[in-house]
Each structure stands twice: as structure tokens, then as C-alpha cells.
Amino acid sequence: MAYIVDAAGTIVGSALGVTTTATFVESSAGMREGGRTGLTAVIIGLFFFLSLFFTPLFSSVPPWAIGPSLVMVGVMMMKVVKDIDWTNIKEAVPAFAIMLLMPLTYSMYQMGLLLVLDFMFLLVFLTMLHCKYHKLVGGNEKNRD
């Protein structure tokens, strides 16, 4: 049921100009915090509706004034870097790529797209490398002593 509501929210949100990433992040954050009923979504929707009236006030804030808050968000996000398994290339390369692309793209959509492409090419490359290695050593691991 949650996926149906998420899909409907994505359709309505995209018709109103909201990125699909934003609706997914909002709904998954609500479910993670324990909101399993539709009441959570209704309350959040009311708050989003109220925020429409504050849009002129928020748009008057210059972009350079938002920078310090984004730096603090980056600092908080760096806390989880210690939990990344840097010895596993399938986990380390996408994590490094996302840390590199986030400040360079200024867009969550572009960063996500590049991350999916990066991960896909990484898996294809590792699969090709794995096959080439087994061809060089003469067969699969079952035949080895």
C-alpha cells in the first residue's frame, strides 16, 4: 500500500513541478520513522501546503546565505564515512563517487543518475575482469586444487 501512495504522490508531485527524488525521500523518511498510516502523509501534506505561503519569504534569501547550512549538512553526512567498507571496491567506488559528485553537480537528480551509471559500469567492468582472470588461470575455481 505504501508503494501505491508513493506512486500517486510522485505523479501528483511531478505534475506540480516537484522532482520525483523529493517525493521518494519524503515518503521513505516518514516510513522509516514509523509512519505507517495515511495520517502521517496527510499531516506532512498540510505542512507543505502551509509552506506555499512562505515561498516568497524563502525565495528572498540569497543563495550565498544558504552555504553555511549546507556545509553543516556535509559535516553531518561525513560521520557515516567511517562505516564504509573501503576494502570492498563495489561499496567504496560508488561511495567515493557520490562524495565527489555531490558538490560538483549541485543536483540530487544528476548525482543519482551519475551514481547509478557509475555503479552499473563498475559491475560490468568487474564482471569482465573476473571472467578474463578465470580464462587466464585456466578454468573455474572448482577444478583447482
Question: What is the average per-residue pLDDT within 116-122?
Answer: 84
Last residue of a domain, one of 44, 59, 74: 59
Task: Tell me: do 86 and 111 sit in the same domain.
Answer: yes
For the chain, the average pLDDT equals 76
Give backbone dihedrals phi and psi of 39, rounded to 5 degrees, phi first: -65, -35
Q: Are residues 74 and 134 in the same domain?
A: yes
Nearest Cα residue to 121 out of 105, 97, 144: 97
Structural domain boundaries enclosing 133: 63-143
Half-sphere exposure of 127 (CA within 13 A, CB side): 6
Mean pLDDT, rounded, for 103-113: 75
State pTM to two decimals. 0.46
The dihedral formed by the CA atoms of 70, 76, 82 and 86, expressed in degrees to the nearest 10: -30
* Each residue's pLDDT tens digit, 17-65: 766 666 666 666 777 777 777 677 778 788 888 888 888 888 888 877 7
pLDDT tens-digit map of 69-89: 777 877 887 888 888 888 887
Residue found under cell 556545509: 71
What total number of domains does the chain contain? 2
